[in-house]
A and B are shown apart, each in its own frame.
Chain A
Amino acid sequence: MMAANNYFGFTHGGTQYGAATASAAYGGQTGYAVAPAATAATYGTQRAAATGYDTAYQAAAATQAAHAHAHAAAAAASAYDASKSAYYQQAAAAYPAAPPQPQPTYDATAKPAYSTPATYAQGARGSGGAKAAYGSVYSAPAPAASYPSQPYSAPAQPAKPLYNAATMYVAQQNKTGGGGGWKNYNKSGVGAGLGRRPKPPPKAQQLHYCDVCRISCAGPQTYKEHLEGQKHKKKEAAVKLAAAGGGGGGARACGASALRCELCDVTCTGADAYAAHVRGIKHQKVVKLHTMLGKPIPSTEPVKLQPAKKTVAGAPKIAFVASGGLSTVGCSADCPPGDKEDEREDDADAEPEVQPVGQDYIEEIRGDDGKALSFNCKLCDCKFNDPNAKEMHMKGRRHRLQYKKKVQPDLEVKVKPSMHQRKLAEAKAQRMLVRDELWARRRMHDGVEEDDRVYWEGADWWRGPHHHHHHAMGMGYGPVGRRPETSDDRHVLAKHADIYPPEQQLQDIQRAVSHTEKALKSLSDALADQGKLKGQPAKVAAKVDDKKEEKPEGKEDGRDNQLFSFVGEGEAAPSGSPATPGPGTAGARALKGVMRVGLLAKGLLLRGDRDVRLVVLCHDRPTVTLLKRVAADLPHHLSRVKGSSEEPKYKVELLPAEGAVSVSDGSVNVLVSLTSAIMREPAEGGDIKRDDKDVLPRQKCLDALAALRHAKWFQARAASLQSCVIIIRIMRDLCRRIPNWTPLNPYAMELLVSGVMQSAGGALSPGEALRRVMEAAAGGLLLDHGPGLRDPCEKDLVDALGNLPPQKREDLTASAQQFLRQIAFRQIHKVLDMEPLPKVKHAAGNWKFPRKRRRSNTDQDPDTPNGDNKVVKKEDNSE
């Protein structure tokens, strides 16, 4: 009903207004000011006074806004005739955000109102030229000639607040409609309207009032600044939002106990808060201002406002017309409100029944007379002078929050998430969502990429060693599994590359050994032929022929580190049973085969190593005679094997004490030991031959046999372990360099390393492997009470460490302990005796990057990745 009233009021006002327009009493917008005054005068008792609250135009806009809310803009347009529709459309355009919300009840009451304007419009049109002027005023897009300094032709921006104000006003009406407050408001408004009826003479007072913020500004300049300010814009937005959100301003008030100060547009949740607001300075200011504006100054003075409009683009707002005082007075009279923003926040939720908490944390500061002067809340770090304030504070939300935060986390404090917080939370959730998705996507890519990378990297890792065709180490270690290369790994590998023998040295050794092996084979053949010539001369030629044909398939020398048998297929049978020894037995070769042993067989040669060993297995106990025979014949066979080239001059030397001959080409020494499997057996029946002076020294022969077994063990067990060969090479170097480690015999060291690798239960990278070896030694493995290193090549329990003296064991352990800690603290270069390697460039987790780039750069422009890199980084940061 009220709304209807309103519209009726408006209608009349509108008519009046139209008349005023027609009369062209005003040059510019002053007409707006005049019109409401007239309205107030004519229909003072009507609800139309509300329209008087603002300018007539504002009232119209308010209606407009309400309309825009209630109906679609199109419907609004159709309700009016063409000339008016322009106006409405523009108004609608100013509220683009306002969703058309059908409000049936409102609609019903509103309808009559709308019908009236229609008639009014006709009437207005009837009144002649005024219509044109009117239309041009409101259809802002086309600035009419009749209003040269027309503020409406200015961009829509400054105009908005005014619309907003109007909207809010309407919203207030809606919300409070029917409430007691409203009635009072209305009534007092009426009263005020009546009181204001006589027009006082225009006062030359310029007031710059912002209707949204309800403040006045001292001058146009400050006013303009205010309009552009953050605070104002926020409010404006909030108001707009409230208006847009259907429920209007009422949406903000929470709970039934909400009290509202209409004057300041502040909602208080409790009587306390409300009282505080009313007492507050802010509210007082507003009251004062409104009183000033409203009551004493009718201020419907068109002339007064004009200059302001000219100066300020956002003029409509400036043109606050004091007729608004009508309602203002009512408000100030009866809703005692004041406003304090922060107070509202703090106390809004405090309810009367809340128990005060945290008494213990409030200190009383007493004066000299023992009277409490002030109070200090330790939790909130604030002071009060008034015991009442203290009570209030203890009930207050802020204090309770602090108490909850600092003392009792399960205390219930009503949480009222502000708009700002909610927005933040939403934004955060959004960000998280986006990030998750991004990660998921990236991970998918990376899964592929990672596999790819590791594959290549793994291959790359071993590229160094593979380049050299050191045949001894062709077997045993494949690419390491998927693990990144640590700094320790890089150091070990660098050191390894350093101690690894150069290609030339390997080739020299290879050639010398190969020649020696071939010469021995040839010698063996010669010896066999000699023996057979006595017995079965006929067969020999054929056999030799056979062998020669077979040669391409069979091996030429002992390059695979297995036994290089001199025995052809045909002869295999007789030599298979050497159980009955006897010199010169027909059908058995004296020299059965040769095998590489020691460093050569194990692939442990280091830079600078010159001495390699071969072991020749004899059919029978090797004798000095045989050794001499070999020494004498070998040079001849060597020269035959090496062919015509003169280059290596081999020198053969007889070493009877060693049970060996030495073949030397100047740079490489090949020690050829003779031994026989029979040498191990004479444990029982050995005494028969003991006095045989001709036989080579037994221990040497046994050593040679052991070396053979060690080589076989190494190839079977150690070489197949991850990192083992590398670490043994490193350790060989270490034993060579460091006196404390020298007593550790090579075989024991190999056993130690292989045992450590084997017990690791998985592949180890070189760095880890070295550290683990040191851990084992540091943990006391080599000390006296330790288990010892069992020799796997002996049937009995033999400690490969032998009788290492206690002091040596002690020194060895101490040295390993020091090394271990050095490795742990990134000083592996000290252990390896090398310069520390520079860090990988992208040390912090990007270890793979440089490698990758290097590889991809081979087929790409080397400059691009850097640029891309930066771009990607930025993206990442912005996430």
Chain B
Amino acid sequence: MVRGAGRGGRGMPGRGGMGRPPFSRPRVLMLRPPFDLILAEPAFPRCKPAPDDSALTQALLKRHTELCPTPTEQAAVLSLITKLQTVLDNLVVAPGDFAACQLEEVRQVGSYKKGTMMAGKNVADIVVIMKTLPTKEAVEGLSNKVNEELNKLMRAEGLSPVTCASHERGFTVTAAAAVRVLVTTLHQNLRKLEPEVHLDYKVISSHLAAIRHSRWFEENAHHSSIKVLIRLLRDMCARHAGLEPLTPWMIDLLAHHCIMNNPARQALPINVAFRRALSLLAGGLFLPGCAGLPDPCEAAHSRAHTALDLVAQDHAAATAQTLLRVVARGGHRYVLGLQAFEGGKDISTEITVWDGVVVSPLAPAYSDTPEPMDTDDKDEEGTQDGVAA
């Protein structure tokens, strides 16, 4: 009654709700973090003795040693990347007659930089920031130049020559180890990119993001436990189809969250953190409508897992849910890959029996509905569209 009068008095009948961008936003803020047992401990005090988790801990540590790269591998990568860095640094400082492009900066990124390299994957990443725009010709030119210079160095040391192969992200230098040279450009050049002339915008900006990620990692995630957990999780994700779409960056964030984000702010033991990671994934951390993990390297309110599409989100959650129950029944050796499951089958898709308890995989929940899910807070895109309407 009061409001009716108030609205009439304002002389703008019917204005409410029409195209008011600022006020359709709160939905984004409404997203809340998922249930996290570690943080909810006061509400759920342990009332029975903690299970003996030493078996899991042992298995985790054992698997981790398997996953660490061997000294030979490390040495090979180190030697190659040092030379490459020298060559590129020279190009930055004194380009000389090299005119294909101008380099601004060269940075190491990725698992090599973070110290989370895995055995058998001795590929380091290095990002080259160009001052000029990254045309395909420029990348080709840089590739040739690097190849030339690097082979000069190699010859000087009597080593076998390297090869350079261009691809859509830059080029890869291969010798005993491999270094991917990822090409990007200055931030202010991003909007000048054109798809047919330059490298793809997404690729370029992902390389810029990689730089931010390494920087964040250096500052926040240097704890060894985090690196251990990252290796274990990456390995686990690689071996289970549903978890494969998780990007290294999501895994980094997840591992950091699991180890460090607890009331005491002390690193959690690896077994607790591992269970927590599975439990969070199973509890819908990376499902739509969940706050997920905020991406510290992007603008506010961006969530790490939105890079996954909905099918992948569903599949990842379902896989983690099955794995959680498998681990709970003592099947961690299979989950960690210490033991192959029935000739290399994916345990997350099989019905298994543990001491008479049947653990079965779950059906996907997401289906392509004819009407898109855009009404409210389920996906950010939807809410932002609401602004435009």
> Are B325 and A779 neighbours in the complex by a CB distance under 8 Å?
no
Q: Mark out the residues of chain A between 64 and 93 whose CB falls within 8 Å of any chain B CB in the assembled complex.
A: none
Contact partner, A825, options B1, B19, B188, B373, Cβ 8 Å:
B373
| A839 CB contacts on chain B under 8 angstroms | 371, 375
Question: Contacts A856-B4, A873-B18: A405 and B192 contacting too (C-beta < 8 A)?
Answer: yes
Interface positions, chain B 52-75, Cβ under 8 Å from A, are 53
Contacts of B1 in A (CB 8 A): 859
Q: Which of B1-17 contact A (CB under 8 A)?
A: 1, 3-4, 6-8, 10, 12-17
Cβ-defined contact, A847 with B376, below 8 A:
yes
The answer on a CB contact under 8 Å between B389 and A408 is no
Contacts of B46 in A (CB 8 A): 787-788, 790
- The stretch from A536-544, A562-570, A669-677, A813-821 touching chain B is A813-821
Q: Bound state CA distance, A764 and B34, in angstroms?
A: 12
Interface of B is mostly: loop
Q: Mark B1-41, 1 if CB is under 8 A from A, else 0.
A: 10110111010111111111011101100101011110111
Q: Which residues of the other chain, B, contact A426 by a CB distance below 8 angstroms? A: none
* Residue contact A807 to B366, C-beta cutoff 8 Å: no
Complex interface: chain B residues within 8 A of A443 (CB): 22
C-alpha spacing A494/B364, complex, angstroms: 26
Q: Is A799 an interface residue (CB 8 A)?
A: yes
Nearest CB of B to A716, in Å: 15
Flag A480-511 by CB within 8 Å of B: 1 or 0 each.
Answer: 00011011000000000000000000000000
Asked whether A784 is an interface residue with its Cβ less than 8 Å from the other chain, the reply is yes
Chain A's closest residue to B389 (CB) is: A844
A781 at the interface (CB under 8 A from B): yes
Binds A, one of B105-113, B142-150, B202-210, B287-295: B287-295
Per-residue A-contact encoding for B362-381, CB less than 8 Å = 1, 0 else: 11111101010111111000
Q: How many residues of B contact A (CB 8 A)?
A: 104
Contact assessment for B4 and A860 in the assembled complex, using a CB-CB cutoff below 8 Å: yes
User: Are B18 and A876 interface neighbours, CB within 8 A?
Assistant: yes
**How many pairs of residues, A versus B, come closer than 8 Å at their CB atoms?**
274
A483 touches B26 (CB 8 A): yes
Instruction: Report chain B residues within 8 Å CB of A842.
Output: 17
Determine the main DSSP class of A at the interface with B.
helix
Task: Tell me the bound Cα distance from A823 to B317 in angstroms.
Answer: 13
Complex: how many Å from CA A755 to CA B36? 12
Residue in B32, B365, B377 whose CB lies within 8 Å of A822: B365
B300 contacts A by Cβ under 8 Å: no
Q: Is B237 an interface residue (CB 8 A)?
A: no
Tell me how far the C-beta of B133 lies from the nearest C-beta in chain A, rounded to whole angstroms: 5
Q: Quick check: is A551 within 8 A (CB to CB) of the other chain?
A: no
Out of A410, A449, A871, which one reaches B131, CB within 8 Å?
A410
Residues of the B chain whose Cβ atoms lie less than 8 Å from the Cβ of A409:
131-133, 186, 188-189, 192
Does B283 make an interface contact (CB < 8 A)?
Answer: yes
Contact A408 B133, beta carbon cutoff 8 Å: yes
Contact B289 A787 (CB under 8 A): no
A406–B280 alpha-carbon span in the complex (Å) = 45
User: How far, in whole Å, are A42 and B24 apart by their CA atoms in the complex?
Assistant: 82
Bound Cα distance A185, B133 (Å): 50
**Chain A proximity of B60: nearest CB distance (Å):** 15
Q: Does B356 contact A (CB under 8 A)?
A: yes
Across the interface, B288 reaches (CB within 8 A) one of A806, A807, A824, A856, namely A824
Given contacts A825-B314, A844-B389, contact A810 B359 (CB under 8 A): yes
> A775 near B35 (CB under 8 angstroms)?
yes
A713 contacts chain B at the CB level, 8 A cutoff: no
Is the beta-carbon distance between B287 and A821 smaller than 8 angstroms?
Answer: yes
Question: Chain A residue with minimal CB distance to B17?
Answer: A849
Chain A residues in 8 Å Cβ range of B39: 759
B197 to chain A, nearest CB (A): 5
Q: Is A843 part of the binding interface, using a Cβ–Cβ cutoff of 8 Å?
A: yes
Q: Assess whether A456 is interfacial by the CB under 8 Å rule.
A: yes
Which residue on A lies nearest to B3, using beta carbons? Answer: A452
Which of A764, A821, A822, A844 is the one whose CB lies under 8 Å from B386? A844
Assess the A775–B284 pair: CB atoms within 8 A. Answer: yes
Residues of A within 8 A of B382 (CB): 844
Count chain A residues whose beta carbon lies closer than 8 angstroms to a beta carbon of B: 93
Q: Is B162 an interface residue (CB 8 A)?
A: no
Q: Is the CB of A487 within 8 A of B19?
A: no
C-alpha spacing A845/B14, complex, angstroms: 16
* B280 contacts across to A, CB distance below 8 A: 779
In this assembly, does A864 line the interface, its C-beta being within 8 Å of a C-beta of chain B? Answer: yes
Assess the B20–A406 pair: CB atoms within 8 A: no
Asked whether any CB of chain A lies closer than 8 Å to the CB of B184, the reply is no
Partner of B385, one of A410, A442, A844: A844
A-chain residues with CB within 8 Å of residue B324 when the two chains form the complex: 779-780, 783, 813
Cβ-defined contact, A484 with B26, below 8 A: yes
Distance in Å from the Cβ of A403 to the closest Cβ of chain B? 10
Chain B contacts for A405, CB-based, 8 A: 192
Residues on A with C-beta less than 8 A from B198 are 406
How many Å lie between the Cα of A762 and that of B291 in the bound state?
A: 15
Nearest A residue to B360 via CB reads A814
Question: Does chain B have a CB within 8 A of A855?
Answer: yes
- Name the one of A439, A452, A827, A845 contacting B365, with C-beta atoms under 8 angstroms: A827
Q: Known: A484-B26, A486-B377. Is A821-B317 also a contact (CB below 8 A)?
A: yes
B45 within 8 A of A: yes
B42 to chain A, nearest CB (A): 7
Please determine whether B386 and A825 come into contact, CB atoms closer than 8 angstroms. no
Do A840 and B375 touch (CB < 8 A)? Answer: yes
Residue pair A408, B283 in contact (C-beta under 8 Å) = no
Q: Smallest Cβ distance from B79 to chain A, in angstroms? A: 33
CA distance in complex: A317, B275 (Å) = 91
Contacts of A398-412 to chain B: CB distance below 8 A: 405-410
Q: Among residues 781 to 817 in chain A, which have CB atoms less than 8 Å away from a CB atom of chain B?
A: 781, 783-791, 797-799, 806-807, 810, 813-814, 817
Among A779, A780, A799, A822, point to the contact of B48 (Cβ < 8 A): A799
Chain B: CB-nearest residue to A869: B14
Among B324, B367, B376: residue with most chain A CB under 10 A: B376
Interface assignment of A768: CB less than 8 Å from any CB of chain B: yes
Interface residue? A760 (CB, 8 A): yes
Closest to B371 in A: A839
A627 in the interface, Cβ–Cβ < 8 Å? no
Please tell me which one of the listed residues A406, A806, A817, A845 contacts residue B135 in the complex, with CB atoms under 8 A apart.
A406
Chain A residues positioned under 8 Å from B340 (CB to CB):
none
The answer on a CB contact under 8 Å between B329 and A810 is yes
Known: A486-B376, A784-B328, A869-B18. A756 touches B35 (CB 8 A): yes
Contact: B40 with A843, CB < 8 Å?
no
B102 interface contact, C-beta 8 A: yes
Q: Known interface pairs A785-B275, A822-B365, A826-B369. Does A779 touch B282 (Cβ–Cβ under 8 Å)?
A: yes
Partner pick for B289 among A771, A849, A873, CB 8 A cutoff: A771
Give the interface of B toward A (CB within 8 A).
1, 3-4, 6-8, 10, 12-20, 22-24, 26-27, 30, 32, 34-37, 39-48, 50-51, 53, 99-100, 102, 131-133, 135, 137-138, 141, 186, 188-189, 192, 194, 197-198, 275, 278-280, 282-284, 287-290, 310, 313-314, 317-318, 321, 324-325, 328-329, 355-360, 362-367, 369, 371, 373-378, 382-383, 385-387, 389
* Chain A contacts to B: CB under 8 angstroms: 360-361, 379, 405-410, 439, 442-443, 445-446, 449-450, 452-453, 456, 483-484, 486-487, 755-756, 758-760, 762, 764, 768, 771-772, 774-776, 778-781, 783-791, 797-799, 806-807, 810, 813-814, 817-818, 820-827, 839-840, 842-849, 852, 855-856, 858-860, 864-869, 871-873, 876
Show 15 residue pairs from A and B whose CB-CB distance is below 8 angstroms, ordered by the A residue: A360-B100, A360-B137, A409-B192, A483-B30, A775-B283, A779-B280, A780-B328, A790-B47, A817-B282, A821-B284, A821-B364, A824-B288, A825-B288, A839-B371, A844-B389
**Further 17 A-B residue pairs, CB within 8 A, beyond A775-B283, A824-B365, A847-B376:** A450-B23, A755-B43, A775-B35, A779-B324, A787-B48, A797-B47, A799-B47, A813-B324, A814-B325, A817-B317, A817-B318, A818-B365, A825-B310, A864-B14, A866-B14, A868-B13, A869-B18
- Pick the 6 closest A-B CB pairs, nearest first: A845-B386, A868-B14, A779-B283, A759-B40, A845-B24, A821-B365
